[in-house]
Amino acid sequence: MLESGTHEGKWSSIPDSPGCWTLDLTEFPDLIKEQSKGQSRKKLISRLPINERLDQFTSLTEAIRGCLEANAPKSMNVGEMLEWFYPEGIASEKKQRAREAIKDVIIKKCGLPNCWKRVAIGRYALNPSHSKKRK
């Protein structure tokens, strides 16, 4: 039975794994997640309401780095970054979602090369060796 499915292209054996098989997920369209158009950029910034300042960046990581560069050598917390991204303010129903998105990226990228470091509880600044002022 497995061989007939292999000939029909429904599944295939896994090399170097005797007795293991993999399915072709196109046979199960309900299981395949549709990728949205422009997913890479949209996914990273989609949780934040768009404005002119955020439009300058291709990702939230780049936007946070830009914020910290613009305010260097000062350290910033998530609330201050949110104010920098939205100088005219942000609707309260969107504010918590935006705060969570920024916090998620801040925590995940903290200490990585070309990113930032935690200088105190809840406060972040660029790694001095990676600080470059934007022109």
Task: Identify the bridge partners of residue 21 per DSSP, sorted by sequence position.
Answer: 13
Does the pTM surpass 0.85? The reply is: no
Q: Express each pLDDT in 4-27 by its tens digit.
A: 766 776 667 776 667 776 766 666
**Residue 135's pLDDT is what?**
40
Q: Which of 43 and 116 is assigned the larger pLDDT?
A: 116
Q: CA torsion sign, 42 to 55 to 81 to 109?
A: positive
**Residue 99's pLDDT is what?**
92
Specify the DSSP element, H or E, that contains 92. Answer: helix 92-109
Give the C-alpha separation, 84 to 117, whole Å: 19
Report domain extents, the chain. 1-32, 39-130
- Helical ranges in 34-89 per DSSP H: 39-45, 52-55, 60-70, 78-85
Amino acid at residue number 23: L
For Cα atoms 57, 55, 107, give the angle at the middle one, nearest 5 degrees: 50
Q: Per-residue pLDDT for 88 more than 70?
A: yes
